[in-house]
Structure formats: C-alpha cells, structure tokens
Structure 1
Amino acid sequence: MTDQAVDTGGVRLSGAPAAEGRFLGRTRELKELRADIERTGLDTLAGRKAPRARVLLIAGRPGSGRTALAEELVRQVAERYPDGVLRARLSEPGGTPVPVERTARDLLTALDVPAPAGAAEDELTEMLREALAGSRRLLLLDDAASADQVDALLPDAPDCLVVAVSGGPLTGIADVRPCTLGGLDTKSAVALLTRYTGSVRITVDPRAAETLAEACQGQPAALTLAGGWLASRPQAAVSDLAKRLHKDAEDGADGTPLARVFRLVHDQLPGQAARILRLLSQAPPAPVDPHTASALAGCSVDAARGALDELVSVGLLRPVASPLPEYDVPGCLHPLLHALAESQERPGELQLARARLLERDVRLLQSCRAITETDSPQAREKLQALPPALRFPSPRAAAEWLDVRRPALLAAVRLAVADGELDTLARRLMSQLVRALVAHVGTQAAAPDLYGVHRLVLDVAERRGLPRERAAALLNLGDLDAQTGRTRDALVRYRAALDAGREAGDPYATGRAMESVGGAYQELGDHDRAADWFGRALADRLARDDRAQAARLYGRIGTAHTYAGRYGEALRNWRAAVAGYRKDGDVPAHARALSELARVQEYAGRPAESLGTCREAIEWARRAEDTRLQAALQLRLADTLDRLGDPVAARLHRVAAERMLVEEAPEDEVCGRDGDDACEIRSTSGED
C-alpha cells in the first residue's frame, strides 16, 4: 500500500522546501481527466446503469510524473468521495507485478475488514467488492502492469472512481481513454529547476535553464536529479550542466535523458555514498532504512544514515513519512541501479551484500523477540551480547519497529526465497520472523503473514529436499487452514505432513500429523475415522512412553466416541485419561478429565455414577484452584439432582456456582443462572 505525498512536476521534491511543494504544469491533462469523470459512459448511452466504477487511466513512462498527476487529480476531486481514498501499488519497484491476492488483502486491511489467512484470490476480491458495494470511494491503483490486475480490483459500485496509472493502455477494460503523458512544458520545467537552484541562477541565464530542460526532454525525474546536482554545487553554472548533457547526447551516450543525468550524478558522488546507492539494488522492494544500507555496505549505521541523507539531497532518494528513518528509491531509478551494480560490482560482492542484509535482519528479529522474554536469563544474556545498534530499549520500541518494518521483512523473505542462493539464511530469517510476529502480534492477528511465510518455508524445503522442514511447514499451514474453516484443505496438508515426517524419521512430526488428521476428521463429522487416527497417535505415544500426551489422546478418543454415541467406549477411554493424569500428577487435567467422565456417564443414563464423579471432580478442581470449573461442575450437579428428584439440593448447588462466578469475574462476564452449557469447560476445546 502507498500513501505518497503529492509530487511536484511528476516526482516528489526530496530536496525542496515543503512549503514550496506545489504541483507544476499538466493543466491540460488535469482538465481532460476531470472532464472524463463527467463523460457519459457507453452503458448510459445504451440505456443501462453502469455496473462498475468509472476508470481513468494515466499512461506514461516511469519518471514522466504519472503518479504525481494521479495524486494531484485525487487531491482535487477527493471531496466528491466522502468514504475516502484507497491506494495500492500494483508493481514492485523493480517492475515485478504484485499478486492480486496480496493487493486485495492490503486493501481489505485498510478498510478494517478481516480477511482469512490463506484465502484465495477469488475469495479476497469478492470480499473487497462486497466491502466497497454502495460506497463512494476513490481508488488510486499505481503502476499497473496489466489490465487483469485492475479488472480484478474494480468495485461493483458505479459511484466509486478508479484512477489507474500504467505504462501504456490497459486493453480489456471497457470505456477507458488513456491520458498519455509526455514531458513538462518549458515554463513548468524551468520552475521545477528553480526550486532546487534558487531564482538567481536561473534569472542570470534563463536560456541555459531552458536548454537544460530541453536536454532533459521535460521529464520530471531527470529534471529533479539535475536540480539536485546543481543544488549540491552552488558554484556550478546551469549552462555547464546543459552543455554536458547535450554533448553526451551528441556523442551517442546510451539511454534516456534520465539515464544520462543519473550517471552524471552517480559519478560525482563520494565513494561510500555511490557504493551504497549501487548496493541498494540488492535490497528488497520496500523502503530502506539505515540498518539496510549499513548491512549492504558493511559500514556503521551512522555512516549509512549520513550517506542516505546525502542521496536525498541530490534527489536520488526520497524520505518516507514514517516513525523510523526510511527512504524510498524512485521506481524509475531501479533499472538503472541494477545495471550499474552489475557493471561495477563483482557478483560475489553482491551476494555477500545480500547475505549481510539477511544476517542483519535475523539479528534484529532475534533482538526484537528477546526483549519480550524479560524473565529469561538466557534471553537477557543474548541481548547483552548484541551490539548496541541492534538492541531495542523496550518491548514497545521493538513492537513499533516490527510494525513499521514488517512489509520490508516480508519482502526480504520473498526475495531471499526467490533468489535460491542463500537458503540457509532465508530459513533462519523466516524462523525468526515467525517467532517475532507471534511474540508481539499473536498467532491469530499475524495469521495472514504467517501463512505466507510458511508457504515460503515449504518452497525452500521442497527445493532443498528437507523432509523435516517440509513436515513442519505443512503442519503449520494445515493448522491455519483448519482455523479458517478450510478443513478439507487442512486434512490434505496433514496427510502430506505425515508422509514427510515418516520420511524424515521425525517422531514428533509423525505423531502430531496423525493427531491432526484425527482432529480434521472429527471436525468433518467422521467420528469413526477420528477415533481411529487418534488411536494411531496414541499407540505412537505409548511406544515412546509419553504418558502425559497419551492421557490427552485417551480423552480425544473418548470425545470422538461420545460424539458417535458409543458411550461404553467413551467411558473406557475417559477412565484411562483420568488414570493417566493421576499418575502424571497433573491436577488441573485430572479435574477436567473427571468432569468429562461425569458428562459421558450422564449421557449414558447413569446419573448416580455421574453424581459421584462430579463430586470427585469438584474436589480435584478445588485443589487445582480452578474456580470456573468448580462452578460448571456445581451446575452439572444441580441438573443431575433435579433429574434424581432433589430440587432443594439442586438449588443449593446453583447458588454456590453463582457465588463462585461472581467472586471470579466482573458481573458482565458471569455465566447465566439457567445452568446452560455456557459455563462448562470441555477438555477437548481446551486441550486441542
């Protein structure tokens, strides 16, 4: 997602004063675009109501000011769309199209609409259309690579407006007339230069300024770099730069005016700043920070920040509005940076720079997670061993850093996995990112990001032939599928994880997969298969003498038999679970297992046995200091006593339960007085 400030003359003025950051030129184009909003569409001419949002297309080469024009148009017409403006970038800075699935999810997040982890593109785009239905919003879709990307995101809301920015026509979207951009007019181009150089240098030689604008072909990106170069050299004459660019063009220098100005600016940068600029081509497609530049160049964080600020001053970078110091590389410069890095840096040095960056991200994530483990002496020791630049002063500071840098970290993971040359570091980065997200955000809130990371882990594991990692990734993906209701998808992943666990000889993964298969069958209502798979997992645990897990699996088997109505089998397994927890000394689990045993006895038509088991369970719950379980059991006792014809005793137990709940929780959290199942605590929900 992007939320850019309005650019001046086609690019943001990195070095210009904020007060002067007004949009320049493009008067004709803006007039045409505003008129196009009011134009009668083909559907209206045919007597039909427009089924979808109107689309305006701004087409132009990178560096032509297409995004700036779109932002200015949005600023001028935003008041017509009271529900707000949404922005999305449809291509990464290097030109790689962003998957529609990711864009739709980002837009839903901006709308505060929760999207299930792992949802497919069709589901997400349908959710987006539903969220936008009936609204009056303006969507700015920047850097569209194809018509399919835009079409998939179009709202079925005729009162919405979509402003798309692309390199050319979007063939396939009906009733769209592109506004094609060339260079700025001479007056606007000179005004853009003036904001960098000051009026005096332009006034003394206005013809030289016009000649320089002509050499840059009015392209805002080239003019910005030229202006930044002049601003950093107060003694240089505008005419000298104009003559140099003309000479380069006459000598047949390769590339566009932007490429020629870029080479000139780069060649006159200080050595360290020039090297950092080249190595930024190896950074993930996201805003860069001083840590990124420091790791790529192998220099200190302070030196990297100084170099980045120097690059900002000449227009090669632009600062990002962020709580952290972050910088954006203009998209039109990315191809030039890559070409420069490949021509002036050895391949081994580029790979080393990428490795240093991944290692820095790993260490920052380790520090980010360790700061939350304040009670762990090992975590404190690890923190102290880190350099001061990698430490966070507090858990809150670490959480804020993770929130800001999360898109960059996810982009780094995707880039590292796609690269394929640094899989070991990529695996470490993914592991630390998952742990940091869980520590600061929580599994549920971070589920969409975790799903993507686990899919990348699976890609690496399959590419490298790592069955243990493949099993872990499949189990994690299966869990996330199960949590979002895709139980059959989860079942497929659990079975694949079982095969991978057996291939790796990993008893944990094998046992966990068998139990998860059973859980999926139980969720699907196939209780016979669920009991069978739980039984296989139980045999595995018993073979390894894992008594605690065996007791828990006895309970799961008992639950499956209970759902199937086989109360005799259920009672046998719950008694085994009770015995297992008692031998293991797990008092809370013992109490809960007794509670479930009493429930099944009641279902089996044995109220007297259920009454005795309930009383025993209450005693164990008291020892476990589980007040809510005691209250639930008191209510069950009351129901049983009612059925046995003792309403007085039943009332006493209900009063006791209500008193416990009032003492345990605020009034609005207390369960109702009617003795329903809302107060009951099932071992299946808690243990599973």
Structure 2
Amino acid sequence: MADQVVDTGGVEVSGQAVVGNRFLGRTRELKELRADIERAGLDTLSGRKAPRARVLLIAGRPGSGRTALAEELVRQVADRYGDGVLRARLSEPDGTPVPVGRVARELLAALDRPTPPGVAEDDLTAALRKALAGRRVLLVLDDAAEAEQVDALLPDSPGCLVVAVSGGPLTGIADVRPCTLGGLDTKSAVALLSRQAGSVRITVDPRSAEGLAEVCQGQPAALVLAAGWLAAHPKSAVADLAKQLRAEGDEGTPLGRILRLVHASLPTTPARILRLLCLAPGGLVDPHIASALAGSSVDGARAVLDDLVGLGLLHAVDSPLPTYQVPACLHAHLKALTETQDRPAELQLARARMLERTVRLLQSCRAITETDSPETRQKLLDMPRALRFPTPRAAADWLSIRRPALLASARAAVADGELDTLARRLMSQLVRALVVHVGTQTAAADLYDIHGLVLDVAERQNLPREKAAALLNLGDVDARTGRQREALVRYRAALDAGREANDPYATGRAMESVGGAHLELGDYDRAADWFGRALAQRLARGERADAARLYGRIAAAYTYAGRYGEALRNWRAAIAGHRRNGDVAAHARALSELARVQEYAGRPEESLRTCQEAVEWARRAEDPRLHAALYLRLADTLERLGDPAAAQLHRNAARRMLGEEPEELDVAESGPEQGTFEPEHDANACEIRSTSAED
C-alpha cells in the first residue's frame, strides 16, 4: 500500500531541520526513538501479549522540528511496515482539535474502506481498528491536541506503530515515554543557517552565526526565518541580524521575534498578505485566496506568495495548481500581528472578500458543465477571465485539489457567525459543484457535513425554510444508509419547520418522506396514512403528476400489508392520473404493478391481460429497455399460467431488444420484489434553499 496523507487539518511543514534531502541533528533523539520501538512493553514484561500498537511520542513546541523528526523516523523504519504509512493531522492551524470521527473517516478512505455518511464516531473508530487488524501499518498522528484523540485511533494490531506528535505528554495512554525536543545543537543550527542563507557570511563570521543560533534558541523554524531574512538582505552581516533580535528583548518566543522582524522588513502589500494568511481556511492558500484577502490582483498575489516561500514563511505544496501551506507554527504569531496592525472591520472585510471569491469560483466550477444553456454561457462570459475554467476537467481538478480547503472554509464561515449570508451562499454552491463533478453518492459524506452546517446556520438565524431543507437532506442520507429511525426523526422535524415557514414544497416532501420511513420500518398502515396526507396536499394544489405518483406509493404500502383490494384501487387511480398527464412510460409501469397485485390477489387471467396492455403502452413510450423489461414480466406471467412456449417467445423478443445485455430488468418504480420505495424527488434534492437569485 502506498503512503497516504490524510488531509484533515493540513500537514505541518514548518520548524523542520531538513535541508534538501538531508536531515540535520537530532541524532540522540532518533537513536532513542528507534530503541523505543524494540523496547519490551509493560505487557510483554508481565508475560501478556501486547494488546495494541506501540506508541512513540515526540513532544515539543510548534516550530521545534517535531514533525520533521517524526518524518525522518518514518523514513528510517518505514520498510518494516509492509502495509504502508498513513498520516493525519489532529489539530487545525489555530489549534482547534479535529473531530476524531472526521480523522477516522479519512483514514478509512485512504485504506479503501469508505463508510456511509452520518456514522457515529465510535462506529468509525471501531471500523478503523477492524480495517487495521492484522496489518503492519505505520500511523503518523501529527499535532495531537489531547490524549483522547490518539487513544481513539490506536490500532489493536501489535504489528502497527503509531508515531504521535504533540505539544506535551499524552497522559492516559499507557506505556508511552515522550521524546521531548529542545533546540538543535549548535553545529546543526549553524549548518541550517549556512544551507539556507549561503555559506559565505557564515564561514567568515562563525562566532556571529553561533550567536544567532543561540538567540534563536536552536529552534529550527526561527532559524529558517533568520536564514530567509539573510538571503533577502545580502549586504547585511549575520551579526547585524543577531543584534536586532537581541534588541527585541525577551518578549515572546524566538520565532515570534524573528517573524516580527521579517514582517517589518517587507513592503506594505506583502506584509499585509502575510498577516492575513492566518485567515486562510485549513492553512491552505492559493493566489485567488491571497488576492481576495488583500484586495490585489491574482498575478500580483502569486508573485508575493512565491517571495514568501523564498523567505521560509510559506511552503509550496506539490500540486498541479499553485498551492501553498501556511506553517501551523506561525498561525498564532500571524494572528497576533493582525490584532495590532489591522482593525476588526478590515479583517471582517477580508474574510468577506475571501468567501465571495470562493463562491464565485464555485459558481464558475459548476457553470462550465452547463454550457449548453445560453444563459449559463453568458454568465461565464460576464465573469472575469481569472475566475473562468477552460474546461470541465480543469474545474473538476480544481475542486478535487481545493476540497479540504473548501470544506474548512465552510466550517470556518459557520463558526464565525457574522457572515451567515455568505456562508449560506458558499455552502449552496459547494453542494452544487460536488453533485455535478463528484456525484451525490461519492460526495455523500461531504454533503452530509455541509447540510449539518446549513442546519446550524438556519437554527441560529431562525430560518425555518432553510432548516426544513437541511433536515430533509440529512434525513435522505440517513434513510439511504439504513438509519430509518434517525431519518424519521429528521423528517418529522422538517415537517414542523416546513409548516412554520408555510412552505408547501417542504411540507409535502416531508410528509411523503415520513411515509417512506414508516414503509421501510414495516409500519405499512402508517406509511399509507402519511402518503395519503401528502396526496391530499398535492391534489389541493393541483399537482397532478405528483398525485399520480403518490397513488402508486399508497398502493405499494397496501400491497406490502396484503390489502390487495385497496392496492388495486390505488393503482387504478395512479394509472388514470398518468393517462391524464400524458406520461406514457409511467402509465406502462403502473399497469405492470397492477398486474403484479392482480396475480397476488389470485386473478391470473386479469393479470395476463393487464400485463399485455402494459407491453403495448411501453411500445408507445418508445423506451426499448422498458419495453424489453415488460416482455420479461409478461413471460414470467405466462410461465406461471402454464404456457412455457409463449413465455420463451417473449423472452427472446426481450433479448433482441436488449442486444448484448443479458441481465433481466425490473421495470417497477415500486413493488414488493424491490424491497424499497424511494421517493422520486426533484433533481435539486441536495439544494440549499433561499439562496441568492444570482446563485
């Protein structure tokens, strides 16, 4: 299995003591960690078999090179773990713990074990442990905020190894000895400065280089920024930089002091972009995000981002599109700079510009797939060139690459609480883009999370219409994944919200969905009752097509209940409705279901005549697959009536219509042999309602 990176909160790439492909220093720590892998645990010493994976803990302040040390250890021992390396980050850049369920879901996806959306956290972690059972996997858990996060993700397989990175000891996890990091040794620190800033100034003044390393307290992140400053100021001596840092006094950490110095040396626009990068969702930034934050051009923002990479303030991500990672260890310091340099209103405006740019990019991402519409083509042409995607493939690639940042942006916008209108537009466009490019089933987990965020905003803003839509969408996902009782609770809440909003669409759909949930739970009388309530509303509103479909759903419920008389009456009502609406294909399907119920009711001759009529209507519908499927249904009926020769003739006719397709098709929208009765909702089933008209 190839190495997998689980991008739940970003990958910390700051504070590293790696230059090129060479790791500097930490010889003692690496030796201790490798020895700890081989050390007999407490269970082994007591004669018991180790019940769980061995855990190694690397503890240190952000910027101490803890992640780089973990990666170097992984590089040295990875060949012992034949099932590969998994990586996940357990904290957001601002220090917020990432929910364990989200991490477990992403790890399962990396193991090709996707899970249904909405599954409880305990079930996800149990599924992860089951997936890792018997494997030899090296699991890297970066930036753990608390012991409970690591403990929940520990594999039960003793053949696995967990390397956890944290700011301190993880009390509560047995048999773990932390490897606590301080600064680099002087030789390694000077070598880091020399490789990053050039060797000439370091060689001619080694004492000053050692003094600079001492001022930085050997912290790799601070040394990287110091080396970047020296590289950008070729006429400045190493002693000058050390003197300036000493003049800063002992206030704050070495990393904070050198960052303030670097920030002060930047021109106005790059300095502002640097500060505002703490607003980038998930710590991931691209030229569009940077330009929106600072209100500059996209090309200008990319040039600034490349310059910041040269200074060690950003790290370029290996990606087909220009993408950059803000080092997590800089987040708190950048936030402190914004608090002193920018007014709250300016920061809010920057957030709003960033969200608005993201919304417009998502609009463009979706619109490029709908160019057959003149209105959509004109919308695309009206967009600035920088916001347009050349092809649908380019839009899909952008969506895939930016997915973690887009989801983080939605979470951050909802948590902010002051930009709810933009947050709702963002989530609406994100849902539509995911459905178009990824598909409802593939993106189900992301859609479930987004609809949960929509529900949070709707409840906070007292928006019953949006609340109803979110509850319906969440209920649909619960129903599709077999959690019918949870879905029933959602649908009932959606019904209450729809009534509060006086929204007939939400009310009708909620009543029908409540009926569908009761049907799946085997409560057929309640199902028929709720379908009947939905039918009454459709009839009162003159919605004839939906009314005809609901007659069929009522008939199906009665069929399950064995009440064939009521089922036959409702199928005949459905047939009459489809005939009045001119829906020939639906008319044929309804006739087929009527024939099925007639057979169940012990009326085989009537069933045969109805089935023959259904075949004729399928021919008029000019749908070869439906026509062939009804021929097969007719063949089964003839077989049961004792006419195998005629049955074979109809089967052969069906095969000729299907060409090379050998499978038997079932025409039923709903029927006892199908097992489920899915409501035929509109194509906008995942729509977040009451959004701006321009969306």
- Category of TM-score, reference length = shorter chain: over 0.9
Give the distance between the partners of 1:12 and 1:5, measured in 2 at CA.
16
The answer to whether the aligner puts 1:85 opposite 2:85 as a matched pair is yes
Q: Does structure 2 retain, via aligned residues, the 8 Å contact 1:629–1:681?
A: no
Q: Does structure 2 retain, via aligned residues, the 8 Å contact 1:286–1:411?
A: no
Q: Which residue of 2 aligns with 1:123?
A: 123
Q: Does structure 1 retain, via aligned residues, the 8 Å contact 2:56–2:176?
A: yes
Q: 1:244 to 1:645 in 2, by over 3 A?
A: closer
1:151-200 superposed Cα distances (whole Å, 9 cap, x missing partner): 00000000000000000000000000000000000000000000122221
Q: Does structure 1 retain, via aligned residues, the 8 Å contact 2:29–2:179?
A: yes
Give the distance between the partners of 1:238 and 1:316, measured in 2 at CA.
19
Q: Which residue of 1 aligns with 2:549?
A: 552
Q: CA deviation at 1:680?
A: 4.5
2:547 aligned counterpart, secondary structure:
helix
Q: Which residue of 2 aligns with 1:257?
A: 254
Give the distance between the partners of 2:130 and 2:614, measured in 1 at CA.
50
The answer to whether the aligner puts 1:11 opposite 2:3 as a matched pair is no
Q: 2:663 aligns with which of 658, 668, 671?
A: 671
Q: CA deviation at 1:322?
A: 1.2
Q: Does structure 2 retain, via aligned residues, the 8 Å contact 1:94–1:334?
A: yes
Q: CA deviation at 1:654?
A: 2.6
Q: Which residue of 2 aligns with 1:402?
A: 399
Give the distance between the partners of 1:191 and 1:89, measured in 2 at CA.
29
Matches within 5 A, 1:208-219: 208-219=208-219
Q: Does structure 2 retain, via aligned residues, the 8 Å contact 1:212–1:242?
A: yes
Q: CA deviation at 1:640?
A: 2.8
The answer to whether the aligner puts 1:454 opposite 2:451 as a matched pair is yes
1:408-460 superposed Cα distances (whole Å, 9 cap, x missing partner): 01101100100100000000000000000000000000000000000000000
Matches within 5 A, 1:298-377: 298-377=295-374
Matches within 5 A, 1:168-567: 168-249=168-249, 252=250, 254-567=251-564
Q: CA deviation at 1:83?
A: 0.4
1:58 aligned counterpart, secondary structure:
strand
1:377-406 superposed Cα distances (whole Å, 9 cap, x missing partner): 111111011000000000000000000001
Q: Does structure 1 retain, via aligned residues, the 8 Å contact 2:64–2:221?
A: yes
**Partner amino acid, structure 2, of 1:494:** Y
Q: 1:642 aligns with which of 639, 648, 660?
A: 639
Give the distance between the partners of 1:260 and 1:656, measured in 2 at CA.
83
Give the distance between the partners of 1:122 and 1:215, measured in 2 at CA.
47
Q: 1:629 to 1:12 in 2, by over 3 A?
A: farther
Q: 1:644 to 1:108 in 2, by over 3 A?
A: closer
Q: 1:571 to 1:231 in 2, by over 3 A?
A: same
Q: Which residue of 2 aligns with 1:675?
A: none
Q: 1:585 aligns with which of 571, 575, 582?
A: 582
1:507-534 superposed Cα distances (whole Å, 9 cap, x missing partner): 0000000000000000111111000000
Determine which structure has greater relative contact order: mean sequence separation of CA pairs < 8 Å that are 6+ residues apart, divided by chain length. Answer: 2
| CA RMSD in angstroms, aligned pairs only | 1.5
**Partner amino acid, structure 2, of 1:681:** A
Give the distance between the partners of 1:686 and 1:615, measured in 2 at CA.
26
The answer to whether the aligner puts 1:660 opposite 2:657 as a matched pair is yes
**Partner amino acid, structure 1, of 2:627:** Q
Give the distance between the partners of 1:640 and 1:146, measured in 2 at CA.
65
Q: Does structure 2 retain, via aligned residues, the 8 Å contact 1:51–1:157?
A: yes
Give the distance between the partners of 2:639 and 2:157, measured in 1 at CA.
59
2:140 aligned counterpart, secondary structure:
strand
Q: Which residue of 2 aligns with 1:160?
A: 160
Give the distance between the partners of 1:443 and 1:434, measured in 2 at CA.
9
Q: Which residue of 2 aligns with 1:681?
A: 668
Q: Which residue of 2 aligns with 1:146?
A: 146
Q: Which residue of 1 aligns with 2:71?
A: 71
**Partner amino acid, structure 2, of 1:508:** Y
2:248 aligned counterpart, secondary structure:
helix
Aligned length: 669
2:281 aligned counterpart, secondary structure:
coil
Q: Which residue of 1 aligns with 2:690?
A: none
Q: 1:548 to 1:206 in 2, by over 3 A?
A: same
Q: Which residue of 2 aligns with 1:617?
A: 614
TM-score (norm 2): 0.94
Give the distance between the partners of 2:13 and 2:28, measured in 1 at CA.
17
Give the distance between the partners of 1:304 and 1:82, measured in 2 at CA.
43
Q: CA deviation at 1:375?
A: 1.2
Give the distance between the partners of 2:125 and 2:78, measured in 1 at CA.
24
Q: Which residue of 1 aligns with 2:683?
A: none
Q: Does structure 1 retain, via aligned residues, the 8 Å contact 2:117–2:445?
A: yes
| Shift >6 Å, 4+ stretches | 3-8
Q: Does structure 1 retain, via aligned residues, the 8 Å contact 2:6–2:106?
A: no
Q: CA deviation at 1:2?
A: 5.2
Q: CA deviation at 1:618?
A: 0.5
Give the distance between the partners of 2:292 and 2:603, measured in 1 at CA.
70
Q: CA deviation at 1:634?
A: 2.2
Q: Does structure 1 retain, via aligned residues, the 8 Å contact 2:454–2:470?
A: yes
Matches within 5 A, 1:571-582: 571-582=568-579
Give the distance between the partners of 1:6 and 1:534, measured in 2 at CA.
53
1:143 aligned counterpart, secondary structure:
strand
1:528 aligned counterpart, secondary structure:
helix
Q: 1:350 to 1:368 in 2, by over 3 A?
A: same
Q: Does structure 1 retain, via aligned residues, the 8 Å contact 2:283–2:327?
A: no
Give the distance between the partners of 1:6 and 1:292, measured in 2 at CA.
20
Which stretch of structure 1 is more off in the superposition, 376-385 or 33-42? 376-385
Q: 1:294 to 1:7 in 2, by over 3 A?
A: closer
Q: Which segments of 5 or more consecutive residues in structure 2 lack a partner in the other structure?
A: 672-676, 681-695
1:644-688 superposed Cα distances (whole Å, 9 cap, x missing partner): 343332332232223323x2xx3xx4126xxxxx64434465764
Q: CA deviation at 1:247?
A: 2.7
The answer to whether the aligner puts 1:605 opposite 2:602 as a matched pair is yes
Q: Which segments of 5 or more consecutive residues in structure 1 lack a partner in the other structure?
A: 673-677
Q: Does structure 2 retain, via aligned residues, the 8 Å contact 1:618–1:630?
A: yes
Q: Does structure 2 retain, via aligned residues, the 8 Å contact 1:186–1:210?
A: yes
1:118-149 superposed Cα distances (whole Å, 9 cap, x missing partner): 11100110110011000000000000001000
**Partner amino acid, structure 2, of 1:401:** W
